[in-house]
C-alpha cells in the first residue's frame, strides 16, 4: 500500500517562511512518486494560491513548487470559509474547497499528517 501524507499549512505566508518551506517539501516528496501527497491550506495560508505572491516570504517557492504538485496531479485543498479567500483574486492554481468535516475525513484516510 502506498503511504499517503497530508500537509496542513496554516501559518501566515506574509510573515512566516513555514508555508513556503512546506510547499517545497511537499513537492520534493511528491517527486519521489512513492507517496501520495495532498496539501491543505487553512486561514491566511490560502494566500499562497494568489496570482501575485510578491508580498509573501520566500515567494519563489510558490511559483516554482505549487505547479510541480499540480503537474503530478496532487490535490491542493483550501479552507472553504477562510476569510483570506476573498483577497485571493484570480488563482493560477486549481484547488478544491473543503469544510472542516471534509478535512477531518481526508485526514483520517492518511498515513501521515504534517502541520506547518
How many domains are there within the chain?
Answer: 1
Q: What is the pTM of this model?
A: 0.93
What's the CATH code of the domain at 108?
Answer: 3.40.1260.10
Cα separation, 60 vs 31, in Å, equals 18
Residue 100 phi/psi, 5-degree rounding, is -65, -35
Residue 40 pLDDT exceeds 90: yes
Query: Nearest to residue 45, comparing CAs of 93, 108, 1?
Result: 93
- In tens, the pLDDT along 75-105 reads 899 999 988 787 677 778 889 999 999 999 9
pLDDT at 83: 84
Cα separation, 92 vs 109, in Å, equals 28
Cα separation, 30 vs 23, in Å, equals 10
**Residue 93 · residue 63 · CB < 8 Å:** no
For residues 58 and 70, which has the higher predicted lDDT (pLDDT)? 58
Question: Which domain does 84 fall in, by range?
Answer: 4-115
Amino acid at each position: 500500500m502506498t503511504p499517503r501524507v497530508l500537509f496542513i499549512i496554516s501559518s501566515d505566508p506574509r510573515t512566516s517562511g513555514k508555508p513556503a518551506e512546506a510547499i517545497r517539501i511537499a513537492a520534493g516528496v511528491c517527486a519521489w512518486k512513492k507517496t501520495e501527497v495532498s496539501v491543505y491550506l487553512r486561514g491566511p495560508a490560502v494566500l499562497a494560491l494568489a496570482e501575485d505572491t510578491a508580498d509573501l516570504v520566500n515567494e519563489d517557492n510558490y511559483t516554482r513548487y505549487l505547479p510541480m504538485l499540480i503537474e503530478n496531479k496532487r490535490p491542493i485543498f483550501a479552507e472553504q470559509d477562510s476569510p483570506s479567500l476573498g483577497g485571493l483574486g484570480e488563482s493560477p492554481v486549481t484547488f478544491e474547497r473543503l469544510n472542516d468535516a471534509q478535512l477531518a475525513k481526508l485526514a483520517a484516510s492518511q498515513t501521515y499528517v504534517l502541520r506547518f
